[in-house]
Amino acid sequence: MTQALLKFWDKQDEAFFRQHRDRKAHIRNAVKGECQGEFWSLGPHETNRRRILLCRADFSGNFLPDNKVLKIPFLAFADETIEDDDAVLLPIIQRIMADKL
């Protein structure tokens, strides 16, 4: 993936949170090649299962300083639909963060 395309998606992610100032999390499909190394570390999988969880809150739910956004690679189950809602996404992100502690 080119640097220009990565910057484009970073800008799109920032724009989402500017438009939805109350949101702390967002999910979207990963674009081809995005976070490639991180996804490889998750083991063998179908590439169409790749998602990016975007989070701008810490473990306690407080907004991160300087409007930072964490980009977390995530694999959905083959037939899983994940609602793009803080009530659904934040518990998933907290479990991921807890596993890394």
Give the per-residue pLDDT at 1: 56
**Model pLDDT for residues 36-53, shown as the tens digit of each residue:** 889 999 889 999 999 999
Calpha distance 59→94 (Å, rounded) = 6
Domain that includes residue 35, residue range: 3-100
Average pLDDT, stretch 64-70? 91
**Model pLDDT for residues 13-32, shown as the tens digit of each residue:** 999 999 999 999 999 999 98
**Tokens representing residue 53 in the block:** 């969880």
What's the DSSP call for residue 44? S
Site of tokens 């994940």: 82
User: Domain total for the chain?
Assistant: 1
Calpha distance 78→8 (Å, rounded) = 27
